[in-house]
Structure 1
Amino acid sequence: MSGGSGVAEHGRRRIDEIGEESRRRILDAAEELFADRGFERTSFVDIAKRSGISRGSIPWHFRNKDGLLMAVLARAMDRFLPPERYQRSLPSLATLLLDYESWARSGNSALIFMVLTEAMGSTGAVRGQYQEFFETRRRRVVRWLRAQRPAGAGGGADDRERAAAVALNGAVMGIHLQFLVDPEVDLEAALQSLAALVDTNLAVVWGGTRDP
């Protein structure tokens, strides 16, 4: 009986491994094609040819093209900003923004604005998925802020931290967009300037006042 159970467990693990490999190959192909051709000009047939995975398997893994695009974007960002960075030793904001700079300079970082274009013109699933994508990243910033919150922070600190997360996310995206449109923008200097501004004004987030 135990031998049969072990064989079944091995079989399930093998199926899971095959599924994960197929998913990775689909994501790799889609990321390359979206970056090269754009979202609209890339079809499931193109992705199937590039990945070597059957066309019918793609919606099984990702439901639809919008879901695939969101999965590509989330993986691309997690490559440089992995969630565990917010759960282990606390990195400085300057360090986090250096990680973001590395991603912004990668060939596929424009995907974040490709998805934004899709979301702005949609009231369906892609907008909801993009909202969740940003909410996830705002929650990570809030966790980072909360981990540094001083004892005795003023009332309403939770609300101010959430507002700060929105502001910081918007500032980073704005700098990123300017860099993509105009490569003469000094991306590193702009992001590090943002980090210095935030560090200087964190007391306001927690209910304190700035030094005169």
Structure 2
Amino acid sequence: MSSRGRRRIDEIGDESRRRILDAAEELFAERGFDRTSFVDIAERSGISRGSIPWHFKNKHGLVMAVVERAIERAVDIEHYASLPTLAELFDDYAKWVRGGNSALLFMILTEAMSSTGAVHRQYQEFLTQRRRGVALWLRAQRPKGVDPKIASKRERTFAVALTGTLYGIHLQALIDPDGFDLDEALRLVAEQFDKNLADLWATLPAADDAPGGCDAGKTTD
């Protein structure tokens, strides 16, 4: 077979895989993992049912691929660091909440909590990357001169609190979208976290004041 023919086959395979993933992501968000079958995905994607296990082996392989793709799209930790304000970080989050398939986050959470297998580990990595992105943003805002070891620990804890708050608002927005103003809620949270962040920086010791003296300032994040 010519290289051009092989490339064409690869392109067809990539397109089939993309369509299957798109359909699975939509259906997992709409119905959940347990109530979505290969037949449903085949009908939604327009790809034969037999092609799905050929690409993904089984249903868990498919949900893993869906989660991995969602991580790539939703978690760009370098992008977090480029955002100058917490409000802009929240604006990005609001766009994702309204993006159509963000319910997938909670549908797959149910599957992740019911096992200790690959889906659980992948979801754990998803959350780790989310927190890492927030911590990276915090590090970019960190005043010069504070002790980096203590600051890094506080930033990670702050990231846990902030991520949990966002997920709680996100869940309410999915279940009761008309019950409150999403943008207003996020603005209020941004204001409160900004205030707490200012307090956090103010209470951190300078590098030279931390236990260990000047050596503490050499600690890396």
TM-score tier (shorter): 0.7 to 0.9
Alpha carbons of structure 1 residues 123 and 73: separation in structure 2 relative to 1, 3 Å: closer
- Tell me if 1:156 matches 2:153: no
* Deviation by residue 1:104-134 (Cα, 9 ceiling, x = unmatched): 1233222211111112221222211110111
Please state how far the C-alpha of 1:20 moved relative to its aligned partner. 2.8
* The one of 178, 194, 216 aligned to 1:199: 194
Give the one of 80, 93, 100 matched to 2:93: 100
CA RMSD, aligned part only?
2.9
> 1:170 & 1:57 partners in 2: Cα distance?
38
Task: Give the whole-Å Cα distance in 2 for the aligned partners of 1:18 and 1:83.
Answer: 31
Deviations 1:112-171 (A, max 9, x none): 111111122212222111101111111111221112222112341111111111111100
1:78-97 correspondence runs (5 A): 82-83=76-77, 85-86=79-80, 89-97=82-90
Letter in 1 for 2:197: L
| Amino acid in the other structure paired with 1:123 | T
Residue 156 of structure 1 aligns to a residue in which SS?
Answer: helix
Q: For residue 83 of structure 1, report the CA deviation from its aligned partner.
A: 5.0
Residues of 1 paired with 2:9 and 2:78: CA distance? 27
Unaligned stretches of 5+ residues in structure 2: 205-221
Distance 1:12 1:123, change over 3 A: same
- Indicate how the Cα distance of structure 1 residues 177 and 37 shifts in structure 2: closer, same or farther if over 3 A, else same: closer
Q: Of 103, 106, 115, which aligns to 1:113?
A: 106
Give the share of equivalent positions with the same residue, in percent.
65
CA distance in 2, matches of 1:178, 1:165: 20
Cα distance in structure 2, aligned partners of 1:31 and 1:44 = 12
Which residue is 1:177 aligned to? 171
Q: CA deviation at 1:28?
A: 1.4
The count of residues paired between Structure 1 and Structure 2 equals 202
Q: Is the 8 A contact 2:76 2:133 kept in 1?
A: no
TM-score by length of 1: 0.79
Give the alignment's TM-score, normalised by structure 2: 0.76
Q: Mind listing any 5+ residue stretches in structure 1 that lack a counterpart?
A: 1-6
Equivalent residues of 1:86, 1:140 under 8 A apart: yes
- Alpha-carbon offset, residue 45 of structure 1: 2.5
Q: Which amino acid is 1:33 matched to?
A: L
